[in-house]
């Protein structure tokens, strides 16, 4: 229910799921309300977030850096540079190989969006707008010039929904022309245009004399007793702590995915 409410595109859909949450667990609804609806519900988020529902890239980076975390700081920086060189190279090659009018990921979304509108028909059409009637009579208004649709998928994701694609087909407009610039293949190529080179041996560099004159002292901190921790210390909102996603699921009476894996019925 929480996931459905968070991912709902329309405010009406969000209200329905939120009402279900309130019925199932008033405590959970109060907790979610206290966080601030706009922080977790797509329908109420006032800015552009495309399909990004989290800003927690640090979690992925933490996992990727696990191999180099035990190393001294200079070795860790070399490890990160090596990793970025590999990642950027793979992405650069992939973007340069692309010959389609949109990126492969956008193409997948377009295919799914069109399939979801199978059986729909265009009811009426004016120069840049159309009404699409679904197989069960649901109606959606598409405004191609404004890149909007009443289903709100086009507005939020910036990728044409199935309704917009049907209208575009009727008007002879290419799907790729309806994408925002940031999702176009040319921007994808430009993103990885700059090279990240692998680290070179320090002896091959001419060090500016000003660097040698500097007296750099180690940080004035006290080293805590014991071996340095290899595992990240969980922050607020992480597993098992107050305010976590696990806590929301517990309030709703749901078992966590981990529970389901560990204790099969
Ligand atoms: Zn739509």
Residue 252: other Cβ atoms inside 10 A: 16
Residue 247 alpha carbon to ligand 1 centre in Å = 34
Cα 117 to Cα 124: distance, rounded to the nearest angstrom: 16
Buried b (16+ CB within 10 A) or exposed e, 52-67: eeeeeeeeeeeeeeee
Q: How far is the CA of 149 from the centre of ligand 1 (A)?
A: 4
**Spatial distance between the Cα atoms of 130 and 159, rounded to a whole number of angstroms:** 17
Q: What is the pLDDT of residue 189?
A: 94
Neighbours of 174 (CB within 10 A): 11
Residue 60 has pLDDT above 60, yes or no: yes
Tell me what pLDDT residue 110 has: 94
Tens digits of residue pLDDT in 62-85: 888 887 777 888 888 888 888 889
Q: How far is the CA of 124 from the centre of ligand 1 (A)?
A: 15
pLDDT tens column, 133-143: 998 988 999 99
For residues 30 and 60, the answer to whether their CB atoms sit within 8 Å is no
Q: Are 143 and 127 in contact (CB under 8 A)?
A: no
Q: Which residues surround ligand 1, an ion (CB under 5 A)?
A: 140, 149, 151, 161, 163
Tell me, in angstroms, the distance from the centre of ligand 1 to residue 166's CA: 10
pLDDT in tens, 213-237: 888 887 788 877 877 666 666 655 5
Cα dihedral 208, 214, 215, 220, rounded to 10, equals -110
């Amino acid at each position: 229910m929480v996931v459905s409410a968070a991912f709902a595109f329309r405010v009406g859909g969000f209200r329905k799921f939120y009402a279900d949450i309130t019925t199932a667990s008033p405590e959970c609804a109060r907790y979610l309300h206290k966080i601030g609806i706009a922080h977790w519900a797509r329908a109420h988020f006032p800015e552009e977030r495309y399909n990004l529902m989290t800003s927690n890239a640090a979690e992925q980076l933490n996992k990727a850096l696990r191999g180099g975390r035990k190393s001294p700081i200079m070795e860790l920086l070399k490890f990160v540079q090596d990793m970025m060189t590999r990642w950027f190279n793979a992405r650069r090659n992939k973007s340069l190989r692309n010959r389609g009018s949109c990126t492969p990921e956008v193409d997948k979304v377009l295919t799914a969006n069109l399939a979801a509108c199978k059986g729909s028909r265009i009811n009426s059409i004016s120069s840049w707008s159309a009404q699409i009637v679904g197989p069960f009579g649901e109606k959606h208004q598409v405004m191609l010039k404004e890149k909007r649709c009443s289903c709100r998928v086009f507005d939020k994701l910036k990728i044409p929904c199935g309704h917009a694609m049907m209208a575009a087909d009727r008007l002879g407009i290419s799907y790729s022309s309806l994408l925002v610039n940031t999702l176009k293949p040319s921007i994808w190529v430009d993103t990885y245009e700059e090279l990240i080179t692998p680290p070179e041996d320090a002896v091959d560099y001419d060090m500016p004399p000003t660097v040698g004159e500097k007296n750099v002292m180690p940080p004035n901190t006290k080293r805590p007793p014991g071996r340095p921790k290899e595992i990240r210390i969980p922050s607020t909102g992480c597993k098992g702590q107050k305010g976590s996603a696990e806590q929301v699921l517990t309030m709703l009476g749901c078992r966590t995915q981990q529970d389901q894996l560990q204790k099969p019925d």
